[in-house]
A = this chain, B = another copy of it.
Amino acid sequence: MFTKETYINRRSVLLEKMKGETGIAVFVGNVESPAQYRDNGYKWRQDSNWLYLFGLDEPRMAATIDLETGEETLYADDFGIDDIIWMGPQPSVSSLAAEVGIKNSASYGAFDVAVLNAVVRGRKVHFLPASRYYNACKIASLLGLDTEAVFSSCKKGCKEASEALVRAIVSMRLVKEEQEIAELEKAGALGFEMHTAARRGIRPGRIEQEIVGAMEAVVLSKGWGVSFPTILTQHGEIFHCHTHDLPVAPGKLMVVDAGAETNSHYASDHTRTYPTSGKFSTVQKDIYSIVYQCNELAFSLIKPGIPYRDVHLATCRHILGGLKDLGLVSGDIDECLDLGIAGLFMPHGLGHNMGMDVHDMEDLGENLVGYDDDQSRSSQLGLGSLRMARRLKPGNVITDEPGIYFIPDLIELWKREGTDKGHVNYDKLKDYYTFGGIRLEDDVLVTKDGARRIGASRLPIAPDDVEEAMAADNN
């Protein structure tokens, strides 16, 4: 796990990166998040930026860093006898502060005073976009801002949050430390177990929810929980399908996109697509093979220096080539690529950064996280959804997740609007309206001279290996 020195070092790097900025940087940790009612919370999860800089995995804390003097203060309340009855003996705030190398501590309420004091003295207050309503409300009310302007406000460039602070933290969290990679490997191993439980659960007649329960059992037994709501669906063409009430039907494709979060809060994110009957049909295998080749192709291209946007485009080209062979698109591949026709079949990006958040740092603003001065965001369907376009660097951890989907509503829309300029064979596509979708995803670390998949074992992915594994599961 991470030591006191890790946190001291990260904050000192941050301070160095913020050199030249004046004022204070303020950080609000999470509070418990109500589920059914205020005091019946969802499972406790600390804010990721807070964890990265301060490590303390407890609710209701805040901190300030004076960018001019380097002075750091932790704000939280000590416990009284009532808290001790309900939650057991607790360490003092000053000892928690010392655990992560912070010298000063004060009450939680003193944070508000410190911020207001800075405002009154005309000092600049740097803050990060908030990920939760409570944090947004708190900062907005202290600084007299609109809540929405504070709440993950950097989606398309920062409005009120501090762009300097965002850029500094993004530059740090984008490159994973050795210890972080070790934690990601643990998440990958847990994700492997979780996906294995899923694959073993897929048998015609079972209810999807039963499989999801078995997957989450693996994660909850050894880790924090799922790194995002599990997607397990026979409607792979619906990206975020979170209902699990269908029985497994024979002859369908089951997309399983799921990840684990370790107790140290690092994520995994894998997708596999299984034939519910244990064997792919010819039509299924044709499409599956294209997606599989795209996944391998992307992995082979990942290395320091290449913009991930180029890797995305290489997979788009491969998809178009494959679909051309099947007679679903026609004409010049480059022209199809320029027209964005790959987006009709893969209307999402090839991948995203991953770390403590499965879409790492998404709330710091996708454009600041996944784009830089080299790369600007496209408005095309698919490419426009690419969350990571940057030139790759060693230490980056990204997902490699090509997919092909047949979305009847979208196909009909393109047909009506003629978006494809005659390159799409709509007649033939009719046969695919109940096909669903296929996505295949691995987590990849960019190394000094290439790439390495996260996780000691790779989930079966080649079509024959998948069928073989499913046959073995059923014995």
* A positions within 8 Å CB-CB of B: 33-45, 48, 81, 84-89, 131-134, 137, 141, 147, 151-152, 209-210, 212-214, 216-222, 227-229, 235, 237-242, 261, 267, 347, 356-359, 361-363, 407, 409-410, 413
Distance in Å: Cβ of A178 to nearest Cβ of chain B = 23
CA distance A220 to B44 in the complex (A): 18
Q: Which of A35, A242, A267, A409 has the most CB atoms of chain B within a 10 A radius of its CB?
A: A35
Q: CA separation between A237 and B84, bound complex, in Å? A: 10
Known A35-B42, A356-B36: A85·B407 in contact at CB below 8 Å: yes
A137–B141 Cα gap in the complex (Å)? 11
Question: CA of A262 to CA of B407 in the docked complex: distance in angstroms?
Answer: 32
Cβ of A221 and Cβ of B212 under 8 Å apart? Answer: yes
Q: Please give the count of copies of this chain that the complex contains.
A: 2
Nearest residue, chain B, Cβ from A87 = B240
A227 CA to B267 CA, complexed, in Å: 25
Give the secondary structure class of A's interface: mixed
Residues of B within 8 A of A40 (CB): 228-229, 357-359, 362
Q: Smallest distance from the beta carbon of A128 to chain B beta carbons, Å?
A: 11
Given contacts A214-B217, A221-B212, contact A35 B45 (CB under 8 A): yes
4 tightest Cβ-Cβ pairs between the two chains A and B: A213-B221, A217-B217, A88-B238, A213-B220
- Cβ contact within 8 Å between B227 and A209: no
Q: Which residues of B contact A86 (CB under 8 A)?
A: 238-240
B409→A37 contact, CB < 8 A:
no
Which residues of chain B are within 8 angstroms of A241 by Cβ–Cβ distance? 87-88
B235 touches A221 (CB 8 A): no
Please list 24 pairs of residues, one from A and one from B, whose beta carbons are closer than 8 Å in the complex, sorted by A's number.
A33-B33, A35-B45, A36-B131, A37-B131, A37-B152, A37-B362, A37-B363, A39-B359, A40-B357, A40-B359, A41-B229, A85-B410, A87-B240, A88-B237, A88-B241, A133-B134, A137-B137, A141-B147, A212-B220, A213-B217, A213-B218, A213-B219, A214-B217, A216-B217
Contacts of A87 in B (CB 8 A): 238-241
- Complexed CA–CA distance, A317 and B137 (Å): 47
Contact yes or no, A81 B410, CB < 8 A: yes
Q: Given A38-B151, A221-B210, are A85 and B229 also a contact pair (CB < 8 Å)?
A: no
Residue numbers in B under 8 Å from A216 (CB-CB): 213, 216-217, 220
| Residues of B with C-beta under 8 A to A222 | 209-210, 213
Among B239, B347, B362, B409, the residue within 8 A (CB) of A38 is: B362
Residues of chain B with a CB closer than 8 A to A212's CB: 220-221
Q: How far does the alpha carbon of A407 sit from the alpha carbon of B357 in the complex, in Å?
A: 39
